[in-house]
Chain A
């Protein structure tokens, strides 16, 4: 048992009031110093397994656990999670919810202080661990001023400062842009170089981990469905499909769905973002419905520098545009101008011929549908059908009309069987579908979707993208914000933003004017 960092024997776990187990008969042995990747679809038991590794299951969460978990030889059922803290560290998905200190140094010191270490030792650990995650010099920085990537690296430093032998990271990069992901994995490489850590990473996306992993474990329905070397898994496309895992991208072009004649993948643009080779859309002039026209749009927030700097962009009716760029580039700021959530400081925005300055957001809801990153921010009703009816009621539609529209949309999105269920009892991909459906029920000319597949497994992502493509085919103008370069290939045009400016994919006439 001693050369195994983790040993799991016949682990089965039932959440309270659940008849089916979330983990069932798991047996694993992980040797010290290994880099293990755990994959699987949403609800396959990945997070439950992570929580059982540091004793939160069964010590903190109610439920029924059978079997044994040993970390560095310690039975997690017999030690409090606090006592296991210097054996195993757990980094959660959402950096916001795990940062406790108000400054970077304060937060990193939190764990070592709990252990009652002397101040000199704490200071040493803070300095060395922050350096490993490229946050040296950030000690006095306020934690709420950090970027998403910096927050997640801080969360990693806070855990590694306790010198755990085993590090478990639950989808640590899911909130990050490619730059943030790269920095996080570089930090993990630094920790791994020391050779003393066993690293277990739960991931949906394989790009960052396939060449780092010693072994991949795939969970399905709470059981180990596959275990082995990454190459063996990623060369077997049918196995990947069977396990619901996204294949490695080939030349940056996705394999979501079948190919369409309208698809013009901008692979060079996506891979390098150096040349503007994206296809120029030549839409028909005339009917303004679905057209977006942005002229000299400038915006800045009170607390920061210029967020948008004289943006000029025309999006034609029925066009599918992907908006990409690093965090803070201005993508969300730009799209929030489309439905009046933000008012231009300078310049104008027209959607379907309406100047957004002259309308309230609620009045534009029937013209521009907006689906935010987190579907749970908008779900509040007690049933799926009531959730769909909410927007229609706001728009003052009659009861029969509401009923007809709700029935129609439920059918279109394949949500009929869930109509009487509480929205929050649905899985993540169904909640995302419901969020899109609740925007579409108002029959908008334009649909803005912000990171529509974030946190979704491969089948869920395919399902959401299929519905977005159907809507596009039916004539809805689609604006999709994404960090996923593969996803961006679904668009007809990729617009790249950086530091508040369009650096690629703008309209040729505007570029000439510049």
Chain B
């Protein structure tokens, strides 16, 4: 993904602002609007949609479950609006097992909220270099060692994942079954992967620490930053827009009572 050139601090403020907005409203139409805005950011940032789809793949059973449970589980008395209290479909004569419009809408809201979380996180993740993240940690006055620890951990996630796949393939080739029935059997079936992965990780961490020290890590208390964090005009503009959007959203939600169910 093409790096969005905004300051990391602006991205962080924008991200937090967007999260507040997603929790402010319950109406799925509002959430759908926010989702479209997030899609716009993803489009201009050239996020890979395949990557987004891959991130959602393991979540879809959860999303379906949320939608079903929420649709059924909420009584019509939970909703303020009359339209939300209306029953769409009822199993049996009573309203005990009924799908209300409000329940279905709330289920959709939860689902879209998760989609927004995933998409926003991916936008931030793919548009921010580890160096920017490091600068951000430094800006928050996190100790150097912890900042570097976090950055290195993030940097090595793909390498460890590659190792995990290699180990998993090696064990499958020996006839290992990755999934077994039963809790304890299931845990046991992961041992052939976890143990070599653990050994490889320790070995990798060992080499990494020796390599870092060999390249002067810890030579002095400070190091040369790759670039100084500096607000530019468009960063101020982005912050102003985020603040404006938040104020407007609070007004619409609290004063006008829009966006609730």
**Which residues on A are within 8 Å of B, measured CB to CB?**
51, 54, 56, 60, 80-83, 85-86, 89-90, 92, 94, 96-98, 100-103, 106, 109-119, 122, 144, 158-159, 162, 302, 336, 339, 341, 361-362, 365-366, 368-370, 372, 374, 376-380, 390-391, 394-395, 424, 438-439, 442
Contact = CB atoms under 8 A, between A and B. Distances in A.
Contact of A378 (B174, B208, B218): B174
9 contacts: A85-B215, A100-B212, A110-B215, A114-B215, A116-B223, A122-B224, A341-B169, A377-B200, A391-B175
A424 B172 contact: no
A439 B223 CA distance: 50
Contacts of A376: 196, 199-200
Nearest to B129: A102
Interface stretch (B62-70, B84-92, B151-159, B246-254): B151-159
Interface in B161-196: 163, 166-167, 169-177, 191-192, 195-196
A439 B207 CA distance: 29
B25 to A, nearest CB: 36
B176 A82 contact: no
A390 B175 CA distance: 9
A339 B171 CA distance: 12
Find the residue from A98, A114, A115, A302 having the highest chain B CB count within 10 A: A114
A302 B48 CA distance: 12
B94 interface: no
A96 B191 CA distance: 24
A113 B223 contact: yes
A86 B196 CA distance: 36
B interface secondary structure, majority: helix
B210 interface: yes
Nearest to A435: B170
B224 A113 contact: yes
Given A114-B220, A116-B222, A377-B167, A106 B213 contact: no
B173 A361 contact: yes
Contacts of A391: 174-175
B43 interface: no
B176 A362 contact: yes
Contacts, number: 161
Contact of A81 (B214, B220, B223, B226): B214
B57 interface: no
Contact of A119 (B50, B214, B224): B224
Nearest to B212: A100
Contacts of A80: 218
B153 to A, nearest CB: 12
Given A56-B214, A81-B214, A102-B130, 8 more contacts: A90-B211, A92-B207, A103-B129, A115-B220, A336-B169, A339-B173, A378-B192, A394-B177
Nearest to A90: B214
Nearest to B48: A303
Interface string B215-258: 11111101111100000000000000000000000000000000
B210 A102 contact: no
Contact of A159 (B175, B176, B177, B215): B215
Contacts of B217: 82, 110, 114
Contacts of A118: 224
Interface of B: 50, 129-131, 152, 155, 158-159, 163, 166-167, 169-177, 191-192, 195-196, 199-200, 203-204, 207-220, 222-226
B175 A365 contact: yes
A111 B220 contact: no
Contact of B171 (A54, A106, A378, A395): A378
Contacts of B158: 144
A369 B210 CA distance: 36
Given A97-B208, A100-B152, A380-B195, A374 B174 contact: no
A59 B223 CA distance: 22
A450 B207 CA distance: 24
Nearest to A336: B169
A114 B218 contact: yes
Nearest to B218: A82
A129 to B, nearest CB: 13
Find the residue from B152, B173, B176, B216 having the highest chain A CB count within 10 A: B173
Nearest to B172: A361
Nearest to A159: B215
A302 B176 CA distance: 26
A439 B176 CA distance: 12
Contacts of B155: 100-102
A60 B208 CA distance: 13
Contacts of A96: 159, 204
A379 B196 contact: yes
A375 to B, nearest CB: 9
A341 B207 CA distance: 30
B217 to A, nearest CB: 5
A372 B169 contact: yes
A91 to B, nearest CB: 9
A374 B204 CA distance: 14
A366 B196 contact: no
A56 B213 contact: yes
Find the residue from A54, A102, A109, A377 having the highest chain B CB count within 10 A: A377
Contacts of B171: 378
Nearest to B220: A116
Find the residue from B158, B191, B208, B210 having the highest chain A CB count within 10 A: B210
A162 B219 CA distance: 12
Given A60-B210, A102-B155, A442-B175, A113 B226 contact: yes
A109 B212 CA distance: 12
A80 B218 CA distance: 10
A94 B156 CA distance: 14
B212 A89 contact: no
Contact of A115 (B152, B203, B219, B225): B219
A85 to B, nearest CB: 4
Given A102-B129, A390-B192, A394-B177, A162 B213 contact: no
B52 to A, nearest CB: 14
